[in-house]
Amino acid sequence: MCGPALDMMQRGFKIDTYQRNVQISRLEKEVVKVEGILNQYGMATWEKPIKARSPFLKELFYTFYNLPEQFRFDKGERKVTVNREALEKLSAYHHVLPIINAILTVRDTAKLLSTIRTEIDPDGRMRTSYNVAGTETGRWSSSSSVFGSGTNLQNITNEVRRMFIADEGKVLCNIDEEQAESRVMGLLMWSLIGDPSYLLANESGDVHTAVARLCWPHLPWNGEILHDREVAERPFYRHFSYRDMSKRGGHLTNYYGTPPTMARNLKIEEKVAAEFQLAYFKAFPGLREYHHWVAREIGLHQELTTPLGRRRIFFGRPGDDATLREAIAYIPQSTVGDILNCALWRIWRYCPEAQLLAQVHDSICFQSDESDLPRAIANARRLATFPLRMNGKALVIPVDAKVGWNWADETIKTSRGKVHNPNGLSKWKGSLAGRKRLSGVHSMVA
DNA sequence: ATTCCCAGCGCG
DNA sequence: AAAGCGCGCTGGGAAT
């Protein structure tokens, strides 16, 4: 793995420094403005400034204002918190609403700013350091480069990805393993338990609609893709469609999430979450059995081995729920990482026209000369597509390809609305289809 | 002045 | 009683 890792670490990812500077000055102004407002609130109330990220916020809300303490759980411990979720609850006390809004704005903006401000190297490139043996699951991790510049490139938001660009004369391609963890979960349920239902749902084209069909069979489905999708997008509960429920609730349920968690994350009632899980487990009976299978393996051996042969020993107490949850997540997460890394290595070794730029767990970004692009993408896809076998069953994870001149999607959702990004990534359909790299002001249509 | 720790939050 | 897993970075403040 050091081959492709060093290749990317040495090359670095070109940064659009103009775009970077524009963003920095815009966000700096915003932070200064809102911090000023926050300080005025502070002086007007408890006669001290208010810092959005200070631990003393606890004192402000829970002692000075005497509001009900909010808690979070951290490794089995109940702790007082002033995180986003807590502040959103406290905003029901509308005398502190302006303070809370200002705090959340400063936090969001400062976070964004700190990533965008990350030091780039003198040649205008951002470099990272990949650790190819740094995690429990076999995934890579990413951090600042050996010289202290750059940062973790595996947690860059779409908004910030806008400043990561292709070199002159080259085009970016991002390939992605589609619904990878979910498909591996399907293979596990099929090969270990004998229940193919979840894999079939995944391979139906639109997994979330398929899951919705199985969970709510009484709705007027008729098998036509567009019609069924429309049915799935009807409201289920408040702002939630059946499809939303299937997507977010399904993922959480796969990983042993409980109704209270689902209720919190999806902002729905606990009863509604429990109802969904009942239907979900009924539609995919292999899921419960997979959870039980993992519990049994951990109880007996305290270890698991993935279909690609990666063994992990679980040092937690075998009977603990926390140990079980780590174990349930392990095989899908590790397997997807290994599949992607296998693809990465093969592209590095056999597809020289693809210059690797980044690895993000289930996706790879590379660049090619425009003239090489169709060949590079065809080769990369071929090298990344291979069957995963387990107990005589097999699965192929499809590989999606997108192209553009910067690393963000064509539509960027920001806190202030949507921004059109004409140089961004769009689905590869065999050619650039008339797309051209826009420069200067034309590349930034608000 | 430097190091350590925590809380919060970003991605897959 | 506790309430998906896997990471890394930053700012604030305490400890050294």
pLDDT tens-place string over residues A292-309: 999 999 999 999 999 999
Classify residue A233 by burial, with Cβ atoms within 10 Å: 0-12, 13-18, 19+.
Answer: middle
Paired residues of A260 in beta bridges: none
Of the pLDDT bands very low, low, confident and very high (cuts 50, 70, 90), residue A264 is confident
Residues A96-137: tens digit of each pLDDT: 999 999 999 999 898 888 899 998 999 999 999 999 988 889
Count of all residues that appear for chain A in the document:
446
Judge whether A400 and A178 are in contact, CB under 8 Å. Answer: yes
Looking at residue A182, what is its pLDDT? 94
Looking at residue A435, what is its pLDDT? 95
How far apart CA A311 and CA A209 sit, in angstroms, is: 34
pLDDT at A228 over 80: yes
pLDDT at A410 over 70: yes
Mean pLDDT of A144-155: 89
Residues A415-431: tens digit of each pLDDT: 777 889 999 999 999 99
Number of H helices, E strands in chain A: 17, 19
Judge whether A184 and A178 are in contact, CB under 8 Å. Answer: no
How far apart CA A7 and CA A373 sit, in angstroms, is: 19
Which protein residues have a C-beta closer than 7 A to any atom of strand C? A 51, 53-56, 73, 76, 78, 110, 114, 118, 131, 134-137, 139, 141-144, 151-152, 154-155, 251-252, 255-258, 260-261, 321-322, 325-326, 329, 333, 361
Nucleotide nearest to A259 (CA to C1'): C3
For residue A221, the tally of other CB atoms under 10 A from its CB is 16
Q: Token digits for A356?
A: 């690797």
Of the pLDDT bands very low, low, confident and very high (cuts 50, 70, 90), residue A441 is low
By three-state DSSP, how is residue A183 classified? helix
Mean pLDDT of A253-277: 87
Q: What is the mean pLDDT of chain A?
A: 91
Looking at residue A444, what is its pLDDT? 58
For residue A436, the tally of other CB atoms under 10 A from its CB is 11
pTM for this one? 0.92
Mean pLDDT of A152-166: 92
Looking at residue A205, what is its pLDDT? 85
Paired residues of A356 in beta bridges: A366
- CA at A322, C1' at B5: how many angstroms apart? 24
How far apart CA A294 and CA A430 sit, in angstroms, is: 43
